[in-house]
Amino acid sequence: MNVLTIKNLSFNYPKLSILNDISLILKEKSITAVLAPNGTGKTTLFYNILGILKPTKGQIYTQECDILALKPELRAKYICYVPQEWQSPFNYNVVDVVMMGSTRKMRIFGTPQYQDEKKALELMEEMGIIHLKFQGINEISGGQRQMVLLARALLQDAPILLLDEPTSHLDIKNQALLFRELKKQVDKKNLSVLINIHDPNLVNIYADEVYMLKDGKNFRNGQVNEVMNAKNLSELYGLEVKTGMIDSRSFVYVY
């Protein structure tokens, strides 16, 4: 089942075209990667989905509604988001940051209730970050911060999760921890994930489908094992890319 459909989406700044007729389908209980060189509109695409930017033309919809027609508080029912970077102006306790994910269910001037804190603590326990609950968000490592932001998004209980370059500042251990938790939550919550990412090897390991963008346009898309080949990757990046196999799994390299 398709949970999110993007159809012929374009976005232009006054003197600059960024996205041109982008189409994309996100399937239920899947991880779909958006892979593209720097400066080709990956984050701009996310900002259009989130309503931060307004498309020049095109459609974004779920089975239930037109996403572009929704106010932010209603859009939050369907889509949650983990940004590439997030700086807190205050050194909130980690548990308070996680509980921010429950605000979409509150009325104006509402405050978190006991049940909100209980759900947040249960989720943190499950994700292995409960020991951080009373630490300040500005005092923890980058890897820990990304897990906290993932927990905040998951507490929102939206069926679609957007992640914008979540591993850009993470070492190999924290990359693995983040993706393992992500795969677990996809199965548990029937979650569908759309992820912007630079590392083709992480796409090979963890994603189900991939959309390659080049010059702001659809370039190639399909199942990872069909699309992530040397020819497509070489054309995408404009240099010779090699692929090989380790333990029956494809990997990408250049030299």
* DSSP letter string, 29-57: T-EEEEE--TTSSHHHHHHHHHTSS--SE
Q: Which DSSP category does 159 fall into?
A: S
| Stated pTM of the model | 0.93
| CATH 3.40.50.300 domain residues, the chain | 2-78+158-253
6-35 residue pLDDT tens: 999 999 998 899 999 999 999 999 999 999
Q: What is d(CA 239, CA 220) in angstroms, rounded to the nearest whole number?
A: 17
Res 107: pLDDT: 63
Question: How would residue 144 be classed by pLDDT, with cut points 50, 70 and 90?
Answer: very high
Residues above pLDDT 70, as percent of the chain: 97
The CATH homologous superfamily for domain 2-78+158-253 is P-loop containing nucleotide triphosphate hydrolases (3.40.50.300)
Q: What are phi and psi of 21, to 5 degrees?
A: 55, 50
CA-based torsion, 200, 197, 169, 40: positive or negative: positive
Among 85-94, 225-234, 245-254, top mean pLDDT goes to 225-234
pLDDT at 109 over 60: no
- For residue 5, give every residue at least 6 positions away whose Cβ sits within 8 Å of its Cβ, in sequence order, or none: 24, 25, 26, 59, 60, 61, 62
